[in-house]
Amino acid sequence: MKCLLQLVFGLFIAAFFTSIFGNDGVLCKDLKWSYPTNLSQLLQNIYKERSFVSILLIIPCTMVEVSWDLQTVFKWQIPKIVMTPGQEFELRKVFNKEIIAVVVMPSNFDKVLFDTCAQTLNNTRQTRIVVATDDLKTSQTQFEKQLLQASQSYKMTRVILAYLHSNGGELSSYLKLQPYPNYQWSNPTNNGFFYPEYWRNLHHKKVVVYAEQSIPGVFLFKDSKGNIQCSGHLGKLIALFVHHYNGTMQPYHTPKVDKSTFYTNIKELMEQQLIDLPMIVDSGVNNGVDEKWHLRSDCIEVTQIKLMVPCPSPRSILEIYPLLLNLDFIGSLIIGTVVFSFTHSLFDWIFGEMVVQPWSFLLDDKGLPGLLGHAFVARVSPRLSLKILYLLMAFAGLNTNMRFGAKMKTLFTTPPYHRHLENFEELNRSPVTILVPETVFEELPYPIEKLMLTQDNAFFQEMRQSLNTSYGYFTSLSAWQTFKQTQRGISHKVFCIYDNLTIRSPKLMSFRLQRNSVYKEPLDALIHRVHDAGLMQAWYSQTFADMLRQKEIKFKYSTDIVEASALKVGDLKWLWIILAMGWLFDTLVFFVEIAIDRYVGTLV
* DSSP symbols for 566-604: PPPTGGGHHHHHHHHHHHHHHHHHHHHHHHHHHHHHHH-
The string of pLDDT tens digits covering residues 508-566 is: 888 888 888 889 889 999 999 999 998 988 998 898 888 888 888 776 554 444 555 66
If you average pLDDT over every residue of the chain, what do you get? 80
The C-alpha atoms of residue 256 and residue 259 are separated, in whole angstroms, by 7
pLDDT of 286 over the 90 cut: no
Residue bearing the bigger pLDDT, 295 or 454: 454
Q: So what's the pLDDT on residue 260?
A: 62
DSSP-H helix ranges across 184-276: 233-244, 267-271
Lowest-confidence segment of 358-362, 366-370, 484-488, 576-580 by average pLDDT: 358-362
Q: Which amino acid is at 279?
A: M
Task: Concatenate the DSSP letters of all residues of 363-395 into one string.
Answer: --TTHHHHHHT----PPP---HHHHHHHHHHHH
The string of pLDDT tens digits covering residues 384-393 is: 888 888 888 8
- Find the distance separating the first CA and the last CA of the chain, reported in whole Å: 101
pLDDT of 284 over the 70 cut: no
Q: Which residues contact 478 (CB under 8 A, 6 or more apart)?
A: 216, 217, 233, 301, 303, 540
> Nearest-5° angle of CA 264, CA 268, CA 274?
95
- Average pLDDT of the residues in 283-302: 71
Nearest to 102 by CA among 116, 89, 90: 116
Is there a contact between 321 and 567 (Cβ–Cβ < 8 Å)?
A: no
Residue bearing the bigger pLDDT, 474 or 294: 474
Q: Left, alpha or beta for 183 (phi > 0: left; psi -120 to 50: alpha)?
A: beta
Residue 353's SS3 state is: coil
pLDDT band, very low/low/confident/very high, at 255 (cuts 50, 70, 90): confident
Do you find a cis peptide bond into 382, omega within 30 degrees of 0?
no
Q: So what's the pLDDT on residue 5?
A: 47
Q: What number of CA atoms fall less than 13 Å from residue 175's CA on the CB side?
A: 19
pLDDT of 131 over the 90 cut: yes
Q: Which amino acid is at 186?
A: S
